[in-house]
């Protein structure tokens, strides 16, 4: 698919075709360019490319054809002008902060964030004089109250990890823009198949490509999507600071994107059915999933999402003992902190993904000792039920 492709192509078509301009070899599949540097025909050509006078490849830290294909494809899927790929999802968040914030600026963020994001904001950005204020994700009044004249960035995961909380992206974007701030949405749980934050008013979309964009747990990577003019400084951060994506990982993500639409639809079907079953089990106190009608933000999720994703927060009766029993008796689910895989994964957030948070921070984020996170894969639903039932049967 060439740069002049028809903008009316569907998302599933873009996920397979966008961004790939064939080389003189006329390859059908996207090539990998595992090279650190590129050769020029003359000193004058090198000078033109290094100065930016002439477009072209310079050094794979910031110009690589395979990475560029991934960037163009993800930008097309998100409906953005440009994408900047990074070495991980956390690198994408860090690069965003370095590009747009400076000492004295403030962030307003949801309490319901990935634990490493909280550590980044508090420990490392805090060292740079950047203050972060945390609020309840869905409480727009709380967001409003936390904004000050120093606020430059509003940051949210929606739905949240792992409680599936949702915020009205359009309303939050309007709030940010009224205060001359930007809104960044972490969209790795839903991907552009199920939610396109830029269409709802967000300025930036952030991804851990490690999750569903890959879909098979093979590689680490991240990305930021947004307006080309806005991302110029972020390109500079990647070029200068070096948190770049490798060509091989970019190629893996390209292969993952080809099946993204099919996978996300199948993930959603499996997850909703499992969530409904879990709600009926007597050993389960509560299931957190915005696809359930019992979820307090189910209506909002239906309005701004095309599906509900594949992550469940499951409150097991009996606290940590109950949660660990469910996990430890699994013979099918993988006990791991990662998610976004075709293989179902299970973890205890309080002692893994959110372990670095204080007890107060865990309580504020709803991370209880009885909470189990299940990222539902594509195995047969009956097999998953039997696997979970094995642990629940030990609770008595």
Q: What is the pLDDT of residues 328-347, one digit of tens each?
A: 999 999 999 899 999 999 99
Q: Label residue 357 exposed, middle or buried (CB < 10 Å: 0-12, 13-18, 19+).
A: buried
Length of the chain, in residues: 396
368 with 310: CB under 8 angstroms? no
Q: What residues contact 63, with CB distance under 8 A and at least 6 apart? A: 38, 56, 57
162 with 368: CB under 8 angstroms? no
Dump pLDDT digits (tens) for 52-100: 999 999 999 999 999 999 999 999 999 999 999 999 999 999 999 999 9
Residue 102 has pLDDT above 70, yes or no: yes
What strands lie across the sheet with 131-135, from one edge to the other?
82-86, 222-226, 204-208, 182-186, 151-157, 106-110, 131-135
Average pLDDT, the chain: 95
pTM of full prediction above 0.75: yes
Q: What residues contact 367, with CB distance under 8 A and at least 6 apart? A: 162, 349, 350, 354, 357
123 with 151: CB under 8 angstroms? no
Listed in order, the ranges of the chain carrying CATH 3.40.640.10 are 11-256
pLDDT at 365: 80
Listed in order, the ranges of the chain carrying CATH 3.90.1150.10 are 260-393
Residue 6 has pLDDT above 80, yes or no: no
Question: Terminal CA-to-CA distance of the chain, rounded, Å?
Answer: 58
Q: Map tokens 């909002």 to a residue.
A: 300
Note the CATH architecture for domain 260-393. Answer: Alpha-Beta Complex (3.90)
In CATH terms, the fold of domain 11-256 is 3.40.640
326 with 378: CB under 8 angstroms? no
pLDDT at 4: 47
């Amino acid at each position: 698919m060439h740069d002049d492709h028809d903008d009316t192509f569907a998302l599933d078509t873009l996920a397979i075709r966008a961004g790939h301009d064939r080389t003189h070899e006329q390859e059908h599949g996207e090539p990998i360019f595992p090279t650190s540097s590129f050769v020029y025909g003359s000193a004058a050509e090198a000078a033109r490319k290094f100065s930016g006078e002439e477009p072209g490849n310079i050094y794979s830290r910031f110009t690589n054809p395979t990475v560029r294909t991934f960037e163009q494809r993800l930008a097309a899927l998100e409906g953005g002008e440009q994408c900047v790929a990074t070495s991980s999802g956390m690198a994408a968040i860090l690069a965003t902060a370095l590009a747009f914030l400076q000492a004295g600026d403030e962030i307003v963020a949801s309490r319901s964030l990935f634990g490493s994001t909280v550590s980044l904001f508090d420990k490392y950005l805090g060292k740079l004089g950047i203050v972060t204020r945390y609020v309840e994700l869905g409480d727009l009044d709380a967001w409003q109250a936390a904004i000050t004249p120093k606020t430059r960035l509003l940051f949210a995961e929606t739905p949240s990890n792992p409680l599936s909380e949702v915020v009205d992206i359009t309303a939050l974007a309007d709030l940010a823009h009224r205060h001359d701030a930007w809104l960044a949405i972490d969209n790795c749980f839903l991907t552009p198949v199920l939610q396109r934050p830029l269409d709802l008013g967000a300025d930036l979309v952030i991804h851990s490509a490690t999750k569903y964009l890959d879909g098979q747990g093979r590689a680490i990577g991240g990305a930021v999507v947004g307006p080309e003019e806005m991302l110029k400084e972020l390109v500079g951060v990647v070029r200068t600071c070096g948190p770049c994506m490798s060509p091989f990982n970019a190629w893996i993500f390209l292969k993952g994107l080809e099946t993204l639409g099919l996978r996300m639809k199948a993930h959603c079907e499996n997850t909703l059915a499992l969530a409904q079953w879990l709600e009926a089990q007597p050993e389960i106190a509560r299931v957190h999933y915005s696809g359930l009608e019992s979820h307090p933000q189910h209506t909002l999720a239906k309005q701004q999402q095309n599906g509900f994703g594949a992550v469940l927060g499951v409150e097991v009766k009996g606290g940590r003992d109950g949660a660990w029993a469910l996990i430890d008796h699994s013979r099918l689910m993988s006990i791991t902190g990662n998610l976004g895989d075709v293989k179902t994964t299970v973890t205890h957030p309080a002692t893994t993904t959110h372990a670095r948070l204080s007890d107060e921070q865990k309580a504020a984020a709803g991370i209880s000792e009885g909470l189990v996170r299940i990222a539902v894969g594509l195995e047969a639903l009956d097999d998953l039920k039997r696997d979970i039932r094995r642990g629940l049967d030990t609770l008595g």
